[in-house]
């Protein structure tokens, strides 16, 4: 059975090669594109990351394809419903970095709240320790954090927030009331959460229903000076509306690990947020700790071996 892995760093290629027969595994550092199809036309298994778009055209051009597995929790980059209609199974990695992404969320929050990046920039430009220009931060203690989405990552964000003595408000289509009681926080409707929060952090999947969840209308309802954090999916935020919100002074700071349309970015492309103060942008690395990536690789191997043995794991239905 031939297996193609895409977007695989060199240090993990050996792990995948050693997990299967050598003649079965083909690893590519690049993402899956139409240009790669000729190299894998007769392959039965394809493993991708979030930068690969597995759409109808890709699927139709792989006539021998039987199984797709994504090395991620989110799977909006795979047309799994179309794959399913063709009898192709699909799995993801449902749990690998719920604590990892939550920790990174607070790395962004702390960087912004204490203006660490700005202080470093000033120091590098020749500033002295006595100069405290525009780098006064604020305490998290007592601030209201609005958590949008309380799955595994959102829950870990709430636990960390509680350690900072923050007041938590949450929004979720399916609230976990037992967890709320155990951790002493309340669920409110979306508009109430965003209107009173000092910091809003997003932890929902990308769906048609929450596309541009953060937009001009929702930003207009927010507390002046609010901070917005997104380590989920870029499409949750209307980029132009967020930039306008910052420029108008409604949004006081932004921490983004994901950007709208990031899969289409090319080397050298200019990111608009770089021109705006009090904004931190990182290149989709919230998941990227050694422990989390190891778990992703191990679960992916288990998914493929389960498919090969007829014992499917982490199947997306």
Residues with catalytic annotation?
233, 262, 284
267-272-273-275 Cα dihedral, nearest 10 degrees: 110
Dist CA 113 CA 102 (whole Å): 16
Dist CA 51 CA 86 (whole Å): 23
Strand spans (E) along 235-282 = 251-256, 279-281
Alpha helices in 237-289 (DSSP H): 239-247
SS3 83: helix
Residue of 17, 14, 27, 60 lying closest to 41 (CA atoms): 60
Which helix (H) or strand (E) covers residue 112, if one does?
Answer: helix 98-113
Which helix (H) or strand (E) covers residue 68, if one does?
Answer: strand 67-70
Could you say which DSSP state residue 126 is in?
A: T
Residue of 72, 92, 116 lying closest to 288 (CA atoms): 72
């Amino acid at each position: 059975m031939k297996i193609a892995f895409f977007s695989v760093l060199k240090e993990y290629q050996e792990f995948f090669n050693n997990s299967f027969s050598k003649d079965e595994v083909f690893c590519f550092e690049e993402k899956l594109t139409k240009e790669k199809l000729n190299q894998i036309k007769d392959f039965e298994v394809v493993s991708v990351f979030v930068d690969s778009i597995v759409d109808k055209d890709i699927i139709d051009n792989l006539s021998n394809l039987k199984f797709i597995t994504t090395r991620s929790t989110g799977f909006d980059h795979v047309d799994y419903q179309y794959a399913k209609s063709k009898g192709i199974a699909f799995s993801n990695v449902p749990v690998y970095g719920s604590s990892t992404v939550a920790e990174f969320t607070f790395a962004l929050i702390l960087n912004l709240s204490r203006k660490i990046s700005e202080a470093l920039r000033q120091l590098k430009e020749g500033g002295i320790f006595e100069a405290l220009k525009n780098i006064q931060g604020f305490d998290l203690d007592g601030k209201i954090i609005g958590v949008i989405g309380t799955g595994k990552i959102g829950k870990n964000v709430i636990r960390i927030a509680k350690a900072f003595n923050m007041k938590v408000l949450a929004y979720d289509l399916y609230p976990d009331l037992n967890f709320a009681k155990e951790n002493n926080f309340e669920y409110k409707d979306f508009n109430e959460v965003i209107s009173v929060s000092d910091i809003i952090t997003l932890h929902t999947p990308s769906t048609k229903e929450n596309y541009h969840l953060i937009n001009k209308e929702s930003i207009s309802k927010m507390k002046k000076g609010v901070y917005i954090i997104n380590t989920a999916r870029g499409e949750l935020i209307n980029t132009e509306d967020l930039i306008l919100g910052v420029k108008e002074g409604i949004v006081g700071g932004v921490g983004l690990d994901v950007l709208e349309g990031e899969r289409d970015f090319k080397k050298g492309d200019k990111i608009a947020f770089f021109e705006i103060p009090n904004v931190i942008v990182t290149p989709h690395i919230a998941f990227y700790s050694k422990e989390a990536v190891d778990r992703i690789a191990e679960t992916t191997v288990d998914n493929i071996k389960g498919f090969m043995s007829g014992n499917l794991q982490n199947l997306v239905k």
